[in-house]
Amino acid sequence: MEHYTMNLTLKVWRQSEKNSDGRFETYEVKDISSEMSFLEMFDVLNEQLVIEGKDPIAFDHDCREGICGMCSMYINGRPHGPWHATTTCQLHMRAFKDGDTVVVEPWRAKGFPVIKDLVTDRSAFDRIIQSGGFISVNTGNAVDGNSLPIEKEKADASFAAAACIGCGACVAACKNASASLFLSAKVAHLALLPQGQPERKNRVLSMVAQMDKEGFGSCTFTGACEAVCPKEIAITNISRMHKDYLAAGLSNER
Amino acid sequence: MALTGIFLISFLLVHVGLNACIFADLNWLNPADNGEMFNKAAHFMGSTIVTRLLELVLFAGFLLHIIQGYAIEAKNRSRRGQGYKVSMGSRGSTWMSRSMAILGTLIFLYLVMHIAQFWVPSRITKDLQEVTYNGVEMHNLYLRMYEVFQQPVVVLLYLVGVAALAFHLLHGFHSAFRSMGVHNKKYLSLLKGLGYGFTVIVCLLFALMPIAMYLQWVSPNS
Ligand code: HEM
Ligand code: SF4
Ligand code: FES
């Protein structure tokens, strides 16, 4: 791939703390390599800001290899930027050309309040996962993997759902700020496996209740979540969750 | 939402089938019908206890769907908080899927006009012209329809109403089944196809009614 450098105009959301008013600031970055990642470009900008004696831009990141789900940026009107199935940290600057203006915003949702600049508090997702509770498995020596037969299709579907990294892009994209795609991935990856059966009903009921409590909206199947999910979680998981929820609501012992 | 939506869809099937009876009078088909088939069908719907009870269920269904619709829309709208500077627009979702409440509101406004034009004079004020077939006296709803559809503004409003219904259903049909748990990919594409087919056929038939009467393809014999 041909290497090139570019100058960009960035419009970035700045907000000093949770309850303060924020605003967009405009920055110019020069000689950005097309081989940099989007976050590296931010590193360059932040170094520039530090040298100028200004407050660097706060943004979340951890693994920088597309597996932790921390790098939440809404870039030019799309969570994680223009590339399909790609996290912000894996987005490369060759997605942009010289002279582009790039607008960077934090995730916007009641359930994800902004803490500072582009950093949002996504602990709501942790609480949703916690509300699902434990799974009952035998302790003691590790059992032989082959002692528990699992259908190939179910194992695959469960594995695909377990790929969700909890980044929150689905919420950021959804017009209802619904966390249904995330939640349905978490529900599906256990509901499809034998280990997930004992607590299956209570788990889906509690997790959906927790999602509502955290202030996320409900699903109306617009499909925006599936389009932006970096892990390509299928929206059919949401229908599977609805089916489980209905069945659990009708037949649960509690 | 999904249950009331599917119930309303089943009502549409009955409603479009019954009203399509006016096409028995197409000028090049059977002008002698003069709306008889339609009038008889409409009279049947208004004269048995079962169909009158169904009418009550229908009103309840509409009411529930509309209340639920606005409640969900209000809740979901409140969940974003501060909005984005650059909106996602149609990257990833269709315009109609994001506009269900606006489309529903258009349908609702249309419904008010529609009920005032037909249901009120037929069931409440009972001030329609009578017509007699085989000794049975009944309202000439066919004539009423013809009169209503002679006003170009009304024809236009009906077409807008039907268009809103079409877009509402293009998303609502499959969304309703997905809300109820259909997650098999094959059935989902089948349902999408079915939804598109249903919507196009039903809405085309509805749209043709005011057009046919306005253009005198279907008209009473004077
Ligand atoms: C009269 C005014 C109406 C209003 C205000 C209204 C409003 C709404 C709203 C807000 C939704 C939820 C959005 C969504 O699920 O994406 C919805 C869904 C739906 N509506 Fe309506 N609607 C109306 C009339 C109708 C009519 C006449 C029909 C059918 C004959 C209909 C069929 C449906 C269906 C099938 C759904 C999908 C349910 C789901 O997604 O679970 N609606 N409507
Ligand atoms: S479903 Fe996709 S977009 Fe949503 S949190 Fe999981 S990985 Fe991110
Ligand atoms: S920083 Fe871990 S996924 Fe981007």
Residues A7-37 have pLDDT tens digits of: 999 999 999 999 999 999 999 999 999 999 9
Q: Which residues line ligand 1 (CB under 6 A)?
A: A 220; B 1-2, 5, 8-9, 12, 62, 65-66, 69, 72-73, 100-101, 104-105, 107-108, 111, 168, 172-173, 175-176, 179
Most informative mutation of B6, B8, B94, B162 for ligand 1 (most atoms within 8 A of CB): B8
pTM for the structure as a whole: 0.93
Please indicate, yes or no, if residue A117 is contained in any of the structural domains.
no
CATH number for the domain that contains residue A131: 1.10.1060.10
Contact list, B185 vs chain A (CB under 8 Å): 236
Average per-residue pLDDT in chain A? 96
Assess whether A98 and A171 both reside in one domain.
no
DSSP A196-251: GSTTHHHHHHHHHHHHHHTT-B------HHHHH-TT---THHHHHHHHHHHHHHHH
Look at residue A84 and tell me whether its pLDDT is greater than 90: yes
Mean pLDDT value across residues B107-133: 94
The pLDDT tens digits for B177-216 are: 999 999 998 999 999 999 999 999 999 999 999 999 999 9
pLDDT in tens, A233-246: 999 999 999 999 99
Question: How high is the pLDDT of residue B32?
Answer: 86
**Cα–Cα distance list, B208 to B22, B115, B203, B215 (Å):** 11, 19, 8, 10
**Range of the structural domain that residue A186 is part of:** 122-251
Distance CA B97, CA B103 (A): 10
pLDDT of residue B127: 87
- pLDDT-wise least confident of A81-95, A138-152, B118-132, B142-156: A138-152
Angle at A139 between CA A134 and CA A141, to 5 degrees: 145
Ligand 3, pocket-test mutation among A43, A59, A63, A118, most atoms within 8 A of CB: A63
Question: Which atom of ligand 3 is the closest one to the Cα of A87?
Answer: 4
Closest CA to A114 of A24, A17, A213, A11: A17
pLDDT at B82 over 90: yes
Least Cα distance to B172 among B101, B88, B70 occurs for B101
DSSP-derived secondary structure letter, A177: -
Residue A73 gets which letter from DSSP?
Answer: -
Question: Are both A179 and A71 inside the same structural domain?
Answer: no
Across the interface, do A222 and B86 touch by the CB < 8 Å criterion? no
Task: Say which CATH number the domain at A86 has.
Answer: 3.10.20.30
Tell me, yes or no, whether A171 lies in a domain: yes
Mean pLDDT of A112-126: 98
- Say yes or no for a CB contact (<8 Å) between B178 and A109: no
Please report the pLDDT score of residue B29 as a whole number: 85
A91 shares a domain with A42: yes
Beta strand B136-139 pairing with A5-14: unpaired
Q: Write the ipTM.
A: 0.92
Q: How many domains does chain A have?
A: 2
Please check whether residue A192 lies inside any domain of the structure: yes
**Are residues A82 and A129 both part of a single domain?**
no
Is the pLDDT at A223 greater than 70, yes or no? yes
Atom of ligand 1 nearest to the CA of B173: 35
Which tens digits make up the pLDDT trace of A205-218? 999 999 999 999 99
3-state secondary structure of A30: strand
Residues B44, A242: Cα–Cα separation, whole Å? 40
User: Is A110 among the domain residues?
Assistant: no
Q: Which residue has the tokens 């959301």?
A: A13
Q: Is A216 inside any structural domain?
A: yes
Task: Give the residue from A105, A138, A156 where a domain finishes.
Answer: A105
- Residue at A18 is within a domain: yes
Model confidence at A137, pLDDT cuts 50, 70, 90, reads: confident
pLDDT confidence bin for A253, thresholds 50/70/90: confident
The neighbouring-strand residues paired with A32 are: A6
- Asked if residue A195 and residue A85 are part of one domain, the reply reads no
Domain co-membership, A132 together with A224: yes
Average pLDDT, chain B: 95
**In this model, does residue B222 exceed pLDDT 70?**
no
Pair B146, B220: CB distance under 8 Å: yes
* A111 with B89: Cβ contact below 8 A: no
Considering the domain architecture, whether residues A84 and A153 belong to the same structural domain is answered as: no
Number of structural domains in chain B: 1
Cα three-residue angle A246-A249-A254, rounded to 5 degrees? 160
Question: How many Å apart are CA B175 and CA B198, to the nearest integer?
Answer: 14
Residues of the domain holding B182? 2-74+98-214
Q: Is residue B79 in some structural domain?
A: no
Q: Are residues A232 and A163 in the same domain?
A: yes
Shared domain for A174 and A229, answered yes or no, is yes
Spatial neighbors of B187 by CB under 8 A, at least 6 apart, are: none
What is the per-residue pLDDT for A121? 97
